[in-house]
Structures are given as structure tokens and as C-alpha cells.
Copies of this chain bind each other. A is one copy, B any other.
Amino acid sequence: MGKTKGSFTDLLRLPPGPVDLAAIATDGTPGFDGDKDDGNDALADLAEPLSDLQERLFAERTTGSTRRVLLVLQGMDTAGKGGVIRSAVALVDPQGVRITSFKAPTEEELAHDFLWRIAKAVPEPGYLGVFDRSHYEDVLIGRVRELADADEIERRYGAINDFEADLVADGVLVIKCMLHISAEEQKERLLARLDDEEKHWKFNPGDIDERELWPAYQEAYRIAVERTNTDHAPWYVVPSDRKWYRNMAIAHLLLEAFESMDLGWPKADFDVAGQRARLVEEDPIP
């Protein structure tokens, strides 16, 4: 971790106000002065402190605390939402993690408000929840593909902000990451999927249909992050052309979020000496 400089939370935080995504480099490595191997080493070094804090959070739920963490991952196809889970989220005990992958909504989900299925997937107290796609799809593909009318899309930005404010009030620390890649990098990743038989299952011709709408998606992202970049649930734009940087940076964001929670260990709510004596002196087992 000697090669990291400063707080990733500060460096990657999208400043409030007008957003220009094209002005944010997709291949940068803010806060890190090193190459791929250094980055992977730095990621591995995060396993221990991150696991320790995650276990404290998991322990804290036994005290009635409602605190928890929600990592929201958004990005164009191939941006690496799955890769972040496989490499960064996987650093902590899977027992304390709740991952939800949001697909195209079902008929039942469509019959409800767009936040209905999201609210059901909010992690319970003590857990690290991860959303692979999220309610933001409803203002991204929802806007680009006109899956709802303009008034409804407009309404959703405010509804999202209110919803996330309620989460925060309920003890949820919300970390929203946009995995920012270039169109060129996406093309290379799609080609890589086509050129490797072991990756064909990850490819869908519809991915190219969506790619054809790249500018419309970038505009939808711009509006979405600008409108929902609140103090209580800010956006982080993570340069993601370099997979190793993306993974390490998000692991750092997680670590810094956990550190900000000032997590201790729950105090015993029983008589420790008494229980010890009972186990040692009265143990009925030979």
C-alpha cells in the first residue's frame, strides 16, 4: 500500500454540480503510483484490514445496531461489475455479503414501482450488500430505450434521492460507483469475449445493440449521476479501463467506508467469568 497516495474517497468523489464525464480519464490511476503488479499486491494487502472491519460490522448486528454498507455498481457492459465482486468483494467473508444482480424486471416487478424490487434487496443490518446494476437502470436504459415516459423518468431522480436518504437514515452507508470505461476499451472486451470459446456464454448480440447507443447512454449517465450526486449518497467515478486499478480502487473505497464507521467489537452481555467457571468447573462431559 506504499504506492497509494491520499484518500480514494476524496480523489474519486464526483464533485457536486454540472458533470462532464468525457473530461474524466477512463485510463487514469488516481491515488496510485505503480503498475499492474503493484496494484494487485496492493489489493491483496487490503484483504486483512477489510476482513477485520467487515467482521466487526457483522458482529455489531448482534447489538441491535442497524448499520450496514451498500455498494452500488453501475457501468456499461463489460465495465467490470462482476470483476469487482470477484476480486474486491471476495476479499471478505462471504457469509457477511449479500449480492443482488438486477436483470430486466419481471412482470411482477413491472407491476410495482421501480423501487419495489430494490427495497427488497437492501442488505440487512450487519451486512455488506452489493448491487450489480440497480435502480439506476430505471433512469439509464429506462431513459435511452424510453421504457417509461419522460415525466416518469423525471420523477425518478427525486424518488431515488428520497429513497437513498431513507436508507442512510436507517443506517445504510451507500457507496455508488460508476465504472467508467472508454468505448474503445469496451470494443476490445467484447472482441475478447467473441474470440474465446470459454467466454461466449458472457456475450449476447444485444450487447452490440446497446453499444450502438453509446452516446445516449453516456448522456443518460451524465444526467443520472448529476441529479443523484447527493451529500448523503455521493457518486464515485472509477476509471476502469485498467481492471487492476478498478478493483483496487473500489476495495480502497470499501476500506475507507468501513474505517469511517469507527467499528469496535460488541461488549459481552453476559458474565464472562461466570460462564468460564461454568464451563471449566461444572462441565458434565468427561
Contacts and interface: CB of A to CB of B under 8 A. Distances in A.
B191 A279 contact: yes
A76 to B, nearest CB: 11
Nearest to A97: B94
Contact of A279 (B194, B197, B266, B284): B194
Question: How many copies of this chain are found per oligomer?
Answer: 2
A212 interface: yes
A187 to B, nearest CB: 6
Secondary structure class of chain A's binding surface, majority of residues: helix
A95 interface: yes
A183 B286 CA distance: 8
A279 B209 CA distance: 10
Nearest to A184: B285
Contacts of A194: 272, 275-276, 279
Contact of A201 (B212, B266, B280): B266
A47 to B, nearest CB: 10
Nearest to A211: B285
B279 A208 contact: yes
A205 interface: yes
Interface stretch (A82-90, A106-114, A137-145, A226-234): A82-90
Among all A-B residue pairs, the 6 with the closest Cβ atoms: A200-B268, A59-B201, A183-B285, A201-B266, A94-B94, A86-B93
